[in-house]
C-alpha cells in the first residue's frame, strides 16, 4: 500500500488550501483526481488511499477537509467507511463517487441520509474525454463549494478533528453573524395577489434531502395543483429520486414523459440528461422534454422549466429555489416575477450551498427567504389564499 500525505501550500494570507483525501481502489482514478486537485490553487491532495479501511485508520493523521469516497472498494467499502469517518471527524465533507448504476445510485442516496454531503457519478471510461471533462468540472466545483464551509483560517486554534456526538447533527448551521445581518438586509417583494395554479421547484447540491423534506409537508398543495421539479442530477439518479419523492409525499411522483398531460395530484421530476418544459396543448398542459445543450452548465436546468411555465400559467406561479451551486433559477425566477408570480428562496443557514437561492435572493426577486423547515408551511398557506 502506497500512501502519499502532502502538506498543503498557503494560497493567500488568510486560508489554507482545502485538504482533500482521495479514496478509490483504482490507481488510474486516484491519479487522475489527484492531478486535477493539485492543479487548483485553493486545494491540495492530503492523501491518496486505496480502501475505506486505510481512510478510517489514518484520518486523524491526514486531517482532511474533504474526502472523495468511492463506493466499491476492497476491505471496507464507501458506505461502511462513511459513518466511521464521520464518527472521527464530524465536520468532514464527504462526496461519494460511483459509476452510474442503479445499485450505486441507491447507495449514494443512502449515503446522503447518513451524512455524506453530496455524490458524483464517475464516467464509465476516463478515455471518454467529454465525460471526463464534465466529471472534472463537477468534482472540482463540489469540492470548492462544499469545502468552503469548513475552510480553516491559518490562525485557527480550534482542533479540526472533533469526535462526533452519538447522534450527528442532521443540518449544522454555518451561518455567521455577518451573513445573518446581510440576509436581513435583502430586499423582499410583497407577495402578489394572484392565486398560484402551479408549484415549480429548482434545486441542486443538497437538493435530494431538501426535496424529500419539502414534499412531505405539501401534500395538500400536490392534491390541488401540479408540482414540477428540476433537480440537477444524471439519469438513473432521477429515476430513484422520483421513487423517494413518491414515498416521502405519499403522492404519485415520477420523471416527466414527453407529451404527457400535466395534472394536479402528481409530482413531475425532470429526467436526468433532459430539460423539462411545459407547453400548451389545446386546452391542456403537457410536458415537453428538450435534448438541447446545457443551460447554466446543467442538464436538466431550472431556468427552462421556470421560463416555459409563464406561457402556460402566466403569473399564476409559485417558484421555490432550494439549495444548490451556481445561479440556475434566478433568471427564470425574474421572468416569473415580471409576469406577476412569486419566488421563495431557501435561506443560507439551512442550505448545503447558498448559490442558487442566494442568487435569487440577491437579485431582489424573492418574497420570502426561509429556512427549509418553514418553506412547506408557507407554501401551503399561499395556496390556501394567505398572502401574509
Count of Cβ atoms closer than 10 Å to residue 123 Cβ: 18
Report the candidate in 194, 208, 237 with the shortest Cα–Cα distance to residue 98.
Answer: 237
User: CA-to-CA distance for 66 and 48, rounded, in angstroms?
Assistant: 12
Q: Annotated active-site positions, please?
A: 204, 232, 328
- Sign of the dihedral through C-alpha 331, 332, 338, 342: negative
Kindly give the interhelix angle for 330-338 and 302-313, rounded to the nearest 10 degrees: 10
What's the grid cell of residue 295?
443551460
Distances (CA, A) of 200 to 54, 109, 196: 44, 23, 10
SS (H, E, C) 173-216: CCCCHHHHHHHHHCCCCCCCCCCCCEEEEEECCCHHHHHHHHHC
Cis ω before 300 (30° cut-off from 0): yes
Rounded to the nearest 10°, the torsion over CA 261, 200, 243, 257 is 30
Q: Is 385 helix (H, G, I), strand (E, B) or coil?
A: coil
Q: How far apart are CA 56 and CA 203, in angstroms?
A: 32
- Using CB atoms within 10 A of its CB, is residue 27 exposed (0-12), middle (13-18) or buried (19+)? exposed
Cα separation, 110 vs 22, whole angstroms:
20
Amino acid at each position: 500500500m502506497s500512501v502519499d500525505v502532502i502538506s498543503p501550500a498557503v494560497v493567500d494570507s488568510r486560508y489554507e488550501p482545502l485538504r482533500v483525501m482521495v479514496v478509490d481502489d483504482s490507481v488510474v482514478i486516484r491519479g487522475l483526481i489527484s492531478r486535477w486537485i493539485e492543479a487548483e490553487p485553493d486545494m491540495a491532495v492530503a492523501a491518496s488511499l486505496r480502501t475505506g479501511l486505510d481512510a478510517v485508520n489514518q484520518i486523524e493523521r491526514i486531517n482532511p477537509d474533504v474526502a472523495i469516497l468511492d463506493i466499491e472498494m476492497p476491505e471496507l467499502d464507501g458506505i461502511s467507511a462513511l459513518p466511521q469517518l464521520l464518527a472521527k471527524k464530524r465536520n468532514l465533507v464527504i462526496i461519494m463517487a460511483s459509476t452510474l448504476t442503479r445499485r450505486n445510485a441507491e447507495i449514494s442516496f443512502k449515503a446522503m441520509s447518513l451524512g455524506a454531503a453530496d455524490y458524483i457519478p464517475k464516467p464509465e471510461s476516463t478515455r471518454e474525454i467529454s465525460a471526463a471533462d464534465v466529471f472534472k468540472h463537477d468534482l472540482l466545483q463540489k469540492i470548492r463549494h462544499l469545502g468552503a464551509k469548513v475552510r480553516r483560517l491559518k490562525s485557527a486554534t480550534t482542533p479540526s478533528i472533533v469526535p462526533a456526538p452519538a447522534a450527528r447533527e442532521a443540518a449544522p448551521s454555518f451561518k455567521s453573524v455577518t451573513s445573518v445581518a446581510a440576509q436581513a438586509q435583502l430586499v423582499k417583494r410583497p407577495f402578489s395577489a394572484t392565486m398560484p395554479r402551479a408549484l415549480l421547484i429548482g434545486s441542486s447540491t443538497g437538493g435530494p434531502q431538501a426535496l424529500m423534506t419539502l414534499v412531505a409537508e405539501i401534500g395538500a398543495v400536490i392534491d390541488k395543483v401540479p408540482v414540477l421539479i428540476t433537480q440537477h442530477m444524471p439519469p438513473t439518479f432521477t429515476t430513484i429520486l422520483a421513487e423517494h419523492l413518491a414515498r416521502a409525499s405519499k403522492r404519485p411522483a415520477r420523471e416527466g414523459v414527453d407529451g404527457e398531460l400535466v395534472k394536479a395530484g402528481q409530482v413531475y421530476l425532470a429526467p436526468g440528461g433532459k430539460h423539462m418544459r411545459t407547453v400548451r396543448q389545446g386546452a391542456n398542459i403537457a410536458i415537453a422534454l428538450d435534448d438541447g445543450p446545457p443551460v447554466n452548465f446543467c442538464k436538466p436546468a431550472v431556468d427552462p422549466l421556470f421560463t416555459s411555465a409563464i406561457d402556460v400559467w402566466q403569473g399564476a406561479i409559485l417558484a421555490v429555489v432550494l439549495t444548490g451551486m451556481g445561479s440556475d433559477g434566478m433568471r427564470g425566477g425574474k421572468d416569473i416575477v415580471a409576469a406577476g408570480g412569486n419566488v421563495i428562496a431557501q435561506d443560507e443557514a439551512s442550505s448545503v450551498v447558498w448559490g442558487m437561492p442566494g442568487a435569487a435572493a440577491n437579485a431582489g426577486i424573492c418574497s420570502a427567504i426561509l429556512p427549509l423547515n418553514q418553506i412547506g408551511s408557507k407554501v401551503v398557506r399561499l395556496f390556501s389564499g394567505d398572502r401574509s
